[in-house]
Amino acid sequence: MSEYLPGLEGVPATKSNISDIDGEKGILFYRGYPIEQLAELSTFEETSLLLLDGYLPTAHELAMFDEQLRGNRRVKFNIRSLMKCLPPTGHPMEILQTAVASLSAFYPGNECLTSPEACEDLDYIHNMTVKIIARMPVIVAMWEHIRNGYDPIEPRSDLTSAENFLYMFLGEEPDPVLARIMDICLVLHAEHTINASTFAALVTGSTLASPYQVIAAAIGTLAGPLHGGANEKVVQMLDEIESPKQVEKWLDAKLKNKEKIWGLGHREYKTKDPRAIILQKLVDKLIEERGGQVSPKFEIAMALEAAAEARLAEKGVYANVDYYSGILYEEMGIPTDQFTSIFAISRAAGWLAHWREQLSDNRIFRPTQVYTGEPPRDYVPLSKRG
């Protein structure tokens, strides 16, 4: 194949049985299970194990996995010392990438990948997966305190992944409703076929790099505003609009100037992102729980979505997963620049599932190109150049 397709749009890069999308109908499956069912009935721990192993675990298998996650939350003090040396103005995604990349120096054992049996050592792959999924939320929460001049809060083993993250981040036991909303958000963001960050993980994994480097590469890719960073842009956009009364005037001006409307549109979906539908229901639940006492951003967001749908639906542009997630996080007391970090701690489950799948039948990625440069020519000595 020699045809150049910008962004590799529509070009199969791998075979996978982890997740699937029907963009026309707005359906997302993890291992064949609809995302709606997983969001309602599952947990982040169970969904992660489903993505990794390919089937819904037994009660014993889930309990063992949960126990392993809880037992691997602590990180060595060297990581904390390293993070204290980083500038407090650093973006949380930059800090997360740095800290995750450094884990291989503090937790050696990657030599397994250089042996012929590496792809068959499922114990190694499982153990590395547990350590990364368990420690990424801890690192994110640690940075929130460190950058504000405080020592981080120690993790607890008596809380779920979502509960412990909120506890470490906010410094108090979370409200059960908010903890459940966070858990659902983690389920929704855990996997989404071969997106940009997952592809970065596949390419890095295909070189047999350390899994920490694999995840660091994926984190760097996720940080971009055209990928995971879009949820930050949504909240900034809603702040700019200021009031539901300003929505239509603001939107028409943006469309006239052909500017991007953050949180709207998705390359895969021609209808509303199924994850956005679930998140909007969570918004409604939170509004009900708080008796309507929530941020006016909710009203602006709903007004903007309605106005945009009236103007853009015929083009297949609807709300995506980033549209409501940031607003929910802000209601939990999470700063805007930490939104994408939460995306990352969830998507690590999907990245690691793809890493495992890549190793099972590995071949290093080496795409070709369409050369558009000069034809062959002779070198001109410096003394003869005009």
As annotated, the active-site residues are 266, 322
Q: Tell me the C-alpha distance between 89 and 302, whole Å.
A: 32
**What's the one-letter identity of residue 180?**
R
Alpha helices in the chain (DSSP H): 35-41, 44-53, 59-71, 77-84, 92-106, 122-146, 161-170, 176-189, 196-206, 211-222, 230-241, 247-256, 274-289, 297-312, 322-331, 339-360
Alpha helices in 257-321 (DSSP H): 274-289, 297-312
Q: Please check whether residue 21 is in contact with residue 321, taking contact to mean a CB–CB distance below 8 angstroms.
A: no
Q: Please check whether residue 111 is in contact with residue 75, taking contact to mean a CB–CB distance below 8 angstroms.
A: no
344 sits in the region (left: phi over 0; alpha: psi -120 to 50; else beta) called alpha
Q: Tell me the C-alpha distance between 129 and 352, whole Å.
A: 6
Written as six digits, the tokens of 292 are: 């309507």
Q: Tell me the C-alpha distance between 272 and 321, whole Å.
A: 9
Alpha helices in 242-273 (DSSP H): 247-256
Q: Please check whether residue 68 is in contact with residue 56, taking contact to mean a CB–CB distance below 8 angstroms.
A: no
Q: Tell me the C-alpha distance between 278 and 175, whole Å.
A: 20
| ∠ Cα 358 195 221 (to 5°) | 95
| ∠ Cα 152 158 164 (to 5°) | 40
